[in-house]
């Protein structure tokens, strides 16, 4: 019997736990440890910060889903890792011993690197931070002023930096106050759209044009040095690393991306981590000194892909983490069976970034060490695709394990409970979601058609509106019966239908060569 301990219950940790439990033997144990009792879909944090998502949309208790698969869950922070003793000490007093350890804790922002960064700016790295950013933003729109969206030297995963700037632009336009607000994007990248990967001028020109169209100012090669209560101090460097200009930017609202470091319980693991507390791994995603310790996700130490005047971290994405997760699961299982390991290099990365009603997608292949395919696409299909990917991924985490039958008394029960609740018999307003949109012709036999009309009349609803709401609930119930391949097939079919439904079936504008 083997025991695999996974630190972290996020995108990397939960999906790896599911896969490991499915591939290991029936007597093998998988334990997941997390300082938070819930899973949350991190890429949607910018939407949380705009008020376009609620916490319940992207976060939910994870223990029931892990335990339904026979995976043990422990809600506790990590106190200390002792790789030489194959032991993990937890803050709750537990001590865990492992045959293999997978570190997937994510990261913490190193806000102490810049004076004032933690005191005066906001972040969307975590859902709690995104909610605080939303509270501040709602105060801001009552008294608008300059906005600065920035990234510290060494920051990585810079796609959300652009995403948030475009979301702010779209939201201010909807509020009819965009003319009263200047938006400045501050980035350590040498040019817009670099993202820590470099590449050619085509991506740079496309991102620069998109920023110009949105009237978003940008300062590149930016070395942020201090943040005060109402100003941000930075130095803009030349391509040679010399000082070009000093800037003092006034702001009324600011969101900043700090450089990433390891979480406290991991950062102290001597021999496992680099100077920033990120886990050092080889090409097989295991630590060179302790080959039974693996890492996955943003907590991995990755060298910079290109040399830049101001340090820029290596990017990551959900897609890249999922591909790496397949490799790390294979290697953990292979190591137990003395089978050949699989290399992580090279890989490619993919991002979907929302820009309000449109969006942008970026592809780099391979991700490390250099990329030879570079392209960016922009259009409404990306906005739709990111919404779809959020639903797809959350559904996969909530997927019932094989062999278990989900309860059918769920969405439809919710609809009927609301209809029969207080005020039953009074004329109810039409629902905001179901019943709107394009008509869908459904042929009903005589009996169910009469039953539907009678039910609608008994609860004071229009038959078409009630049918739409019950159908939406029934579809949600039906999806809960799908297996993982079924969820994948559903997501693929949904993406095809979304693209077909776009105006003139134009999926976007391709800015440079490369396959899709």
Task: Respond yes or no on whether the N-terminal peptide bond of residue 82 is cis (omega within 30° of 0).
Answer: no
Q: State both tokens at 511.
A: 């800015």
> Which has the higher per-residue pLDDT, 386 or 399?
399
Phi-psi region of 456 (alpha: psi -120 to 50; beta: other; left: phi over 0): alpha
> What's the CA gap between 39 and 9, in Å, rounded?
6
Coil, strand, or helix at residue 233? strand
Hunting for tokens 């591939």 — which residue is that?
A: 23
> What does the mean pLDDT of the chain come to?
82
CB neighbour list of residue 261: distance below 8 Å, 6 or more residues apart? 107, 108, 109, 110, 267, 276, 277, 278
pLDDT tops 80 at residue 67: yes
pLDDT tops 50 at residue 196: yes
305-343 pLDDT, tens per residue? 789 999 998 877 777 888 889 999 999 999 998 889 988
Q: Which of 77-86, 155-164, 382-391, 442-451 has the lowest mean pLDDT?
A: 382-391
Q: State both tokens at 215.
A: 């009237």
CB neighbour list of residue 130: distance below 8 Å, 6 or more residues apart? 45, 46, 48, 49, 123, 124
> What's the CA gap between 92 and 22, in Å, rounded?
28
Pairing mode, if any, of strands 231-237 and 222-227?
antiparallel
CA dihedral 417, 419, 423, 427 (to 10 degrees): 180
> What's the CA gap between 2 and 24, in Å, rounded?
9
Q: Are 154 and 107 in contact (CB under 8 A)?
A: no
For residue 407, the model assigns a pLDDT of 52
Q: What is the mean pLDDT of residues 205-223?
A: 91
Delineate the domains of the chain, giving CATH numbers in brackets. Answer: 3-107+262-344 (3.50.50.100), 111-259 (3.50.50.60), 411-479 (no CATH)
Q: What is the mean pLDDT of residues 63-78?
A: 96
Bridge partners (DSSP) listed for residue 504: none
Q: Radius of gyration (Cα) for the chain, nearest Å?
A: 25
Coil, strand, or helix at residue 408? coil
> What's the CA gap between 289 and 13, in Å, rounded?
22
Q: Are 101 and 7 in contact (CB under 8 A)?
A: yes
Q: What is the mean pLDDT of residues 399-419?
A: 62
For residue 495, the model assigns a pLDDT of 61
For residue 1, the model assigns a pLDDT of 86
Q: What percent of the chain has pLDDT over 90?
A: 52
> Which has the higher per-residue pLDDT, 173 or 358?
173
Neighbours of 20 (CB within 10 A): 22
For residue 136, the model assigns a pLDDT of 97
Coil, strand, or helix at residue 30? strand
Which of 147-151, 465-469, 506-510 has maximum average pLDDT?
A: 147-151
Query: Which ranges of 40-91 would DSSP assign to H, the alpha helix?
Result: 45-50, 55-58, 63-67
Return the closest-CA partner of residue 496 out of 422, 397, 404, 388: 388
For residue 397, the model assigns a pLDDT of 87
For residue 201, the model assigns a pLDDT of 63
> What's the CA gap between 425 and 419, in Å, rounded?
9
Q: State both tokens at 108.
A: 């913490």
477-491 pLDDT, tens per residue? 777 677 667 777 776
Q: Which of 5-9, 242-246, 359-363, 510-514 has the lowest mean pLDDT?
A: 510-514
Going by pLDDT thresholds of 50, 70 and 90, the confidence category of residue 402 is low
DSSP states along 117-134:
HHHH-B--SSHHHHHHHH
Beta strand ranges found along 318-382 (DSSP E): 349-354, 359-365, 373-378
User: Quick one: DSSP state of residue 142?
Assistant: T
pLDDT tops 50 at residue 370: no
Direct distance between the N- and C-terminal alpha carbons of the chain, in angstroms, rounded to an integer? 44
Query: Which class for 261: exposed (0-12), middle (13-18), buried (19 or more C-beta within 10 A)?
Result: buried
161-190 pLDDT, tens per residue? 888 898 899 899 999 999 999 999 999 999
DSSP states along 158-184:
-HHHHHHHHHHHHHHHHTT-GGG--EE
For residue 383, the model assigns a pLDDT of 53
Q: Which of 13-17, 93-97, 301-305, 481-485 has the lowest mean pLDDT?
A: 481-485
Task: Respond yes or no on whether the N-terminal peptide bond of residue 366 is cis (omega within 30° of 0).
Answer: yes
Q: What is the mean pLDDT of residues 271-282?
A: 94
To which H or E segment does residue 319 belong?
Answer: helix 318-336
Return the closest-CA partner of residue 168 out of 251, 230, 254, 247: 254
> What's the CA gap between 471 and 444, in Å, rounded?
13
Q: Are 120 and 228 in contact (CB under 8 A)?
A: yes
CA distances from 262 to 14, 265, 273, 396, 410 (A): 19, 8, 8, 27, 40
Coil, strand, or helix at residue 29? strand
Query: Which class for 346: exposed (0-12), middle (13-18), buried (19 or more C-beta within 10 A)?
Result: middle
pLDDT tops 90 at residue 504: no
Query: Which ranges of 420-511 would DSSP assign to H, the alpha helix?
Result: 446-458, 463-479, 484-501
Please calculate the CA angle 254-259-264 and round it to the nearest 5 degrees.
115
For residue 12, the model assigns a pLDDT of 94
Bridge partners (DSSP) listed for residue 81: 88
pLDDT tops 90 at residue 280: yes
> Which has the higher per-residue pLDDT, 320 or 512?
320
For residue 8, the model assigns a pLDDT of 97
């Amino acid at each position: 019997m083997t025991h695999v301990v996974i630190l972290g219950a996020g995108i990397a940790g939960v999906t790896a736990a599911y896969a490991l439990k499915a591939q290991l033997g029936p007597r093998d144990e998988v334990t997941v440890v997390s300082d938070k009792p819930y899973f949350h879909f991190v890429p949607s944090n910018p939407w949380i910060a705009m008020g376009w998502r609620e916490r319940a949309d992207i976060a939910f208790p994870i223990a029931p889903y892990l335990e339904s698969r026979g995976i043990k869950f422990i809600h506790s922070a990590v106190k200390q890792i002792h790789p030489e003793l194959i032991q993990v000490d937890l803050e709750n007093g537990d001590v865990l011993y492992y045959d293999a350890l997978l570190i997937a804790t994510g990261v913490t922002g190193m806000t102490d690197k810049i004076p004032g960064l933690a005191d005066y700016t906001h972040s969307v790295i975590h859902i709690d931070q995104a909610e605080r950013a939303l509270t501040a933003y709602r105060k801001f729109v009552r008294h608008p002023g300059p906005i600065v969206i920035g990234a510290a030297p060494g920051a990585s995963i810079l796609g959300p930096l652009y995403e948030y700037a475009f979301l702010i632009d779209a939201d201010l336009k909807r509020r009819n106050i965009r003319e009263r607000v200047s938006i400045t994007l501050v980035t350590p990248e040498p040019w817009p759209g670099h993202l820590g990967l470099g590449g050619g001028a085509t991506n740079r020109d496309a991102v620069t044009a998109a920023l110009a169209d949105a009237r978003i100012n940008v300062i590149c090669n930016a070395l942020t040095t201090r943040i005060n209560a109402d100003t941000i101090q930075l130095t803009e460097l030349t391509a040679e690393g010399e000082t070009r200009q000093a800037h003092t930017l006034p702001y009324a609202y600011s969101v900043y991306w700090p450089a990433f470091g390891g979480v406290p319980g991991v950062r102290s693991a001597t021999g496992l981590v680099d100077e920033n507390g990120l886990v050092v791994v080889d090409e097989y995603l295991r630590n060179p000194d302790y080959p039974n310790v693996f890492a996955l996700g943003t907590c991995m130490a990755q060298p910079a892909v290109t040399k830049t005047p101001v340090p820029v971290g290596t990017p990551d994405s959900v897609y890249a983490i999922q591909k790496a997760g397949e490799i790390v699961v294979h290697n953990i299982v292979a190591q137990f069976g003395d089978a050949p390991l699989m290399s992580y290099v090279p890989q490619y990365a993919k991002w979907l970034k929302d820009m309000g009603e449109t969006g942008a997608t970026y592809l780099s292949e391979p991700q490390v060490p250099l990329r030879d395919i570079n392209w960016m696409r922009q259009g409404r299909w990306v906005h739709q695709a990111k919404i779809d990917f959020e639903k797809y991924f959350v559904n996969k985490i909530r997927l019932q394990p094989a062999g278990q039958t989900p309860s059918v008394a769920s969405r439809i029960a919710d609809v009927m409970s609301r209809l029969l609740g207080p005020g039953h018999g009074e004329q109810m307003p039409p629902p905001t979601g179901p019943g709107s949109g394009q008509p869908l012709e459904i042929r009903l036999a005589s009996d169910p058609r009469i039953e539907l009309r009678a039910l609608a009349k008994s609860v004071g609803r229009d038959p078409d509106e009630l049918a739409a709401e019950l159908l939406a609930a029934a579809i949600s119930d039906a999806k809960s019966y799908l297996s993982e391949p079924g969820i994948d097939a559903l997501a693929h079919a949904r993406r095809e239908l979304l693209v077909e439904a776009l105006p003139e079936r134009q999926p976007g504008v391709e800015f440079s060569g490369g396959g899709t």
